[in-house]
Structure 1
Amino acid sequence: MTEERTGYRRSAKSPRGEARRKDLLDKVADELGTNGLVDFSLRRAAKAAGTTHKVLLYHFEGTEDLLTQAVLQLRERRITRALEAATGGPAERSLADRVRSMWPTLIGAESWVLDQAIGLAMYDAGRYADLARSASRQYLPALLSLCPTDWPDGRKREVAELILATLRGFLIEWRTSGDADGIDAGFQALIRALEREEQP
């Protein structure tokens, strides 16, 4: 992947430009969700968006910026679906129940691409570390929002970090080994830990 930096982002100066940028990003994210990160390029993205790579360079700073923004978009969609699953149903659901209900969404459509992004960040941290750092920034507010409202902020942060790290481990295991039984066993342990955390 070669980076073509333009420093433009002139589109950010107008509502019309931002609307066009969002439309392009939606189309590129859709394509990325279908075909993954391997061999991603501006030309491939332009074809998916029905435009030229020069138009993309008008709206984005280059290949890596576009890739990062598309990954962020896909992750935001995943978080939205996961939160909908977690917050649906009775209002008095436990944190453990909410986390359990998120799992099918986390391993659903587009999950493999987001797992690829984390792998890319580990493989070449110099260029792609922000793909991993941004995951924490995106997921933590959602997980914090699921914690009981009467918990102190420090406790919410500790539990949210535990959930995030554990689910990441399960996702890696899911992607690399496919050991559903092992993941289920670990998941049950996480659920029990959350149930104990919620006990008065």
Structure 2
Amino acid sequence: MTTQETRELLGDRFIPKPHFSLVRHAIVDAPVEQTYAAARAIDLTEIHSGLATAAGWLRELPARWQSRRAGPPRRPTRLTLDDLDAGTDWALLGEHPGSEFALGVAGKFWRPVIAWRRVEPDDFAAFSEPGYGKLVITFGVRPYGAHRSLLTLDTRVLLSDPPSWLKFRRYWRVASPFALVVHAALLRTIAQDARRRALDAYRREDG
């Protein structure tokens, strides 16, 4: 009998016991290499699901109202995960190249205008400032047979104290259906790009 080493999930490293979680899977008609590349290179400005777009627009309304005198907020023409890490409060917490990576942020997510808080990877697991929650999203890719992949989105939330937990629970009742739609849009977009990459690779090999 052979044993296979089990690598620690990044979600378990940063939020091993979440208060709230949402996990979605998709079987992708592309090998792991192309599926992981598609996930790692995703451009968030290309996520255009009707309800997901509406949910994002509604979530931005308070910030838009606050900044109405300064004119409409600038919309990025490109927003990759590396762009998030470099220019926003989100941090790329860790990566198992070729199989999994994780993004995280702290914040008061239940507020009409979210109070975001960047927490660096080395400090993320221990961060527990009262009044905040921590959010981790991991993208995982694993083989599913010889030529397909299992793509997983794992979202975990941990609150720092009971009052924050109560506030987030009320918020989550409303937000979780929209989160499901966003997950589905992300999975669909990554799967489409992965299939395109796999087809391009096949054509190069065949030609």
**Fold shared, TM-score > 0.5 on shorter chain:** no
| Relative contact order higher in (CA < 8 Å, ≥ 6 apart) | 2
TM-score computed with the length of structure 1 as normaliser: 0.27
Query: Whose helix fraction is larger, Structure 1's or Structure 2's?
Result: 1
